[in-house]
Structure 1
């Protein structure tokens, strides 16, 4: 690594499907000019556009330009044919600059071939590692040295990260709206913590909140008559449910009555209003998690700009409503994104897994992670499928420890308490299992 830091920097990088390995070094080294080499590959071109826009949003000091490599998957000779004259031009034109090549992007052939051409001119190059810290491995013909950057404050916020991966936030006022949601969740803190305690205490029950969920869904269903909306739920209240119902009655959120009809017991539910029905049907899990994250923010474990709840996003530039999504909770730490889906029902189908898989792979980037926090114990098949796609599932028994679990993730420590199969099923086993049931 050259110790001459007085010269302005001109950086060259290679666009690829991953934007962070080009974005982070640019933000740390702050070059005057960033030249991005793009092949004809669609991912490469998209990555350049994402990179250019997010840098413009963060700092106006970096001039970003595109350099076209007119091949989609160039071989060694094609890269050399492009790189030799291009890099010599850079050296001649920017001889007053400190020229640096970032070889992290592109294919292995592109990176190696460009490194060969670059080093032949006696110029500096590095490879970017993004672990707990961002480390630049400076390369030369004899040995490599490492330079790590410790962040005093986050380089990126949630919006920057999502922009860098091709998403835009639908709500441009998301920061203020997020803070409003935090205040609302704080009002419900006693209730949500009590509900989480009931969930953890009764974690052996398959569907502890089942009656309330069913009654709330009927209340909210506009496609049925008012009489059907108020239809009692079959089955008497078990003893372990009475404290929950008594607590909700005391909080004036719910009134209930057991009735007998032809020797069968039913339970009538009367919610305070539709908002309360939504809250008890699962929104409380998101509020509970929001309160936990607010506590971690107050303890300086997580920065205010590095988490948000209930943010709506869409694929950049798309007008298709199916390209829109909502993130229940998103957390940014160690330059990687964690997306959490909060559930209290509807774990019978694979929709939560499919949604998170898509968001994790596109919006999360190379190191993106996804969790499901569920107030209902999922079936083993659901957990197995989630494990296949490296999605962690935290069910009722994990509620009391979720704060420590989140803290561990933010700090890069080992995660425990998630639902895992002893031997996760692979995709083929899941397909065969499904066929056997048909």
Structure 2
């Protein structure tokens, strides 16, 4: 049966547009295709950016390659990435020839500022209505002419709803099954029978496809196409509690790589007492509830500093500051922020998802406020001079260099 496909008669991604979207998806519980959600200019820009994503993913190794349905060595792509300005259809023919291929590229928000900015702006009005996913967003690109998805029929992680922005040029079909329907009646059937019982969602370049996390699904892409997805990371109560407790335990105990050897008897509790002592000393007798709340606040600050992307920015070692940059202005690009809070003598800094702890000083917080102030022109040399009391000029330069390498700050 053909799945629901509509047009929304409001400016794309406006508050009214998203309100209509929420009504048509029964508040994000049903799959939907929205026709022509993207303008021709959006499609053209995002398709041109696909080459940048492939080039950067080859450097970061954040992708998987499939050829003729089987996972292949990534070195084929890494050794022959698209040239600057090369048409992606030309590139895929050059690299893969007549083979059917698929690229699944993760963390695209860190591989392309253009894509990250587009996705951030697309959902900003939706956030006003529904709030933010507790663990932020991730973005993935699916690219190829691979026929049926090499991952097979599956459903995604619990709570991970997805928007698929299709930029073509080829069309795509997504087959959906309700969770109860698939597990009770479909899993043991032949593939053709499974497809016959599915809801089919067909979409073309410029369309948006939405799917809630609990739909079993498989995609089919016969002609070469590219899709950019945005994942909403909504954890369960149990999974979020596990994340917070794991994070603070690692922080309190360390990286946990040291091996604990058993005592002479199975009932020997010495090692457990030693570990408990480390926890008690580092936690400073704070309650479990207090530790959890503290870790929750750290998670929220990390996300807020990085535009609510779950992943941290990827440091780039070739981003280097020099003395010639002293007259350039420091700023934080939207929607990112350089956040901080004080606890005793420590100043906790958050930028692009990274956390850093420095000694507190009024001069440092004043300098950060100037960087965050969009109406203030604050030059790199002024920052170094302002911090000459709490830090040496060399220390201030090293701090800025670290922020620049991690893309926490930018220069103009």
Establish whether TM, by shorter chain, passes 0.5: no
Query: What TM-score bracket applies, with the shorter chain setting the length?
Result: under 0.3
- The structure richer in helix per residue is 1
Max Rg structure: 1
Structure showing greater relative contact order (alpha-carbon pairs closer than 8 Å, 6 or more residues apart): 2
TM-score by length of 1: 0.23
TM-score by length of 2: 0.24
